[in-house]
Structure 1
């Protein structure tokens, strides 16, 4: 059961990875050029909504017992923490390491953005979400710690 949930969770992650990055790049290359972390945050928020529906109805469909409003509140609380976890590497890359134009060329900036936000940030947030969703949001049985 756990293996099947992990595979489904990873598939949902793949879909939301595409949604997140599509929104992020659309915003950061158009109206939020000067605010890449804000653009990333918006991309994550859109992907989080998609993630809730897919995880609720597919990945963890056989779990839980919580009422939907309570479950949704927990899901979005866990996801809010994941959003922070996800944007911290991008913020550090851009502002602490100065991996942005004019300190580096545009190609280096974009590679650093992708590596920090879409690889490292997503990986850290994914680990957090999988653990927290199983433990608190979609427990094996209501009231257990999964």
Structure 2
């Protein structure tokens, strides 16, 4: 929490308020960035090796690995003050929603490869790689992220403030102190 405090203290007051107000979304974005890196490394690791002829399968496996990492990080950091469900229900809903996310994430790559025929021998290897990255890694990830943000808040972690966390309370106290000091 000390690193976050150091950043917050340096921000001008209007931006500090904005960060504090939207800290859950910002944390979700950080977790998304981490899982994007995991997803990309696993996807290309599989696609360039054992799943070379099956890029959609490679992407699905990569998204599943990134989803497991994302569950741990989201539960313990992004949505740590939220809850409202027993842990096994929460995990089941998380993975169900993430399964829909896998389909959403894979759909643009599937369309690129098999409907638009953006694969060798119809196009060059470079065009295929650019199309795979743009459709599978960028477009698919963004579409799945928007869906997951909405669904996680609505169904998996529905109750704001259900899990009291001392760090969150401390951050709110410090923000209130800095507001009153600046006024």
TM-score using structure 1 length: 0.95
Q: Which residue of 1 aligns with 2:105?
A: 86
Distance 2:92 2:154 in 1: 14
Q: How far, CA to CA, are the matches of 2:32 and 2:112 in structure 1?
A: 23
4+ long deviations beyond 6 Å: none
Q: 1:122 to 1:95 in 2, by over 3 A?
A: same
Give the drift of 1:14.
0.2
Residues 1:28 and 2:43 are matched in the alignment: no
- Which ranges of structure 1 fall in alignment gaps of 5 or more residues? none
Question: Would you say 1:115 and 2:115 are equivalent positions?
Answer: no
Larger Rg belongs to: 2
Unaligned ranges ≥5, structure 2: 1-19, 163-183
1:65 corresponds in structure 2 to 84
User: Could you tell me how far 1:2 is from its partner in structure 2?
Assistant: 5.6
Q: TM-score, normalised by structure 2?
A: 0.76
Pair 1:37–1:132, CA change in 2 (3 A): same
Out of 145, 149, 154, the residue aligned to residue 126 of structure 1 is: 145
Per-residue CA deviation, residues 17-46 of structure 1 (Å, 9 max, x unaligned), is 000010000000011111000000000000
Query: How many matched pairs?
Result: 142
RMSD: 1.1
SS at match of 2:85: coil
